Structure 1
């Protein structure tokens, strides 16, 4: 088995014992293991349990597996792991739970590891579909934020800015072909898998300034997204009326 360097010897032993039991009970139906959650990303605390995805054949997926305060075994089929949820589906959240998760054991000649990698990345078609749903929503919330700032309604501005963070991050990660992380793992992701088009410190500072309702930082984020140069991005901005677009660009 291949364990992350950050995982303690005791936790490695716990997973190894579980793997031996599964191998004995499931035989060839036990296909592999993936370490998800905080432990899989090296940010666990003393209160974190071990979330281990157990890949099994379809006839075994309904069997109950161990779940306690130390170790939770989550059964999935290989087909499920290779199926890509699209943004908006109720399964979309699983994309991040698999993203960057280390494969501990793979009896499928690499199919598990390739599936994990594919869950992490967005294809050009997936990027297009996500932007069609989230880009205009982000611009709209940003427009509301800047109008409230202009009118001196700072509480409304900060509330709208906080609401805009979610579509903003969806857009920014999608533009670089990545699934957006859960908020808990945002800093970890940017430190270990930085976005090519947006320096980590700059993006984290932009988020902080968003939450503070800083109008100029918000306008700069709009300019930076436009600078990606994608036709869909420019088309979306162009759909805004001139007077609205003007409010987005300057006080």
Structure 2
């Protein structure tokens, strides 16, 4: 795996957000790959709760400055970067004042999902791809963690399917037990259709609940990892129908298991 390239895209990453199974695993999987000589890049949203001064985030002017279209509206893309202390790993933050400046992650003070979480997820997916294109960095593997990142596989397979930088990339999605209750904005599918020209693959997210958003990620991925010991039974049944490589939950042997899983996917090209 030395000198291979893995792009880690996560809703949450420690130390920038509190430690959860998802944020810790996203960090650990990247750290383990990096320690074996794999070239890594980590992307996450720049939520307003992240302390930019403490974590030494700074804007990358050469990468910022473009607008991304979300639901026919131009939204400015700001890219910030930081280095994880002691690890020499770069983390790229997708930022936009309208979507991410608020001092919360997914929900408001009443614990209600933000009405624009659907657009935030679209913006994040497109922002990751456009930034990687500017970096001209072709990943061998793209590893997705968390529902906020789960539209990325769909966009890669449909909206960016002609982009040569990702032609050989294998998409891996990790599934976790933590989700959200209720649904995102019911207009999510229509907003995605605006980009995908009424692609049939948007049918899965017509009802934009947590399970369906993950199903969309699964059907557009090349392999799946169980990031939690307990996974929704509906998702397990859905995965079985896809007939794709699956790595079961790794409680102790995460490092070698993940690296071997990546290597097998790359070798299958």
TM-score (norm 1): 0.31
TM-score after normalising by structure 2: 0.30
Higher relative contact order by CA 8 Å / sep ≥ 6: 1 or 2? 2
| Higher-strand-fraction structure | 2
Higher fraction of helix: 1
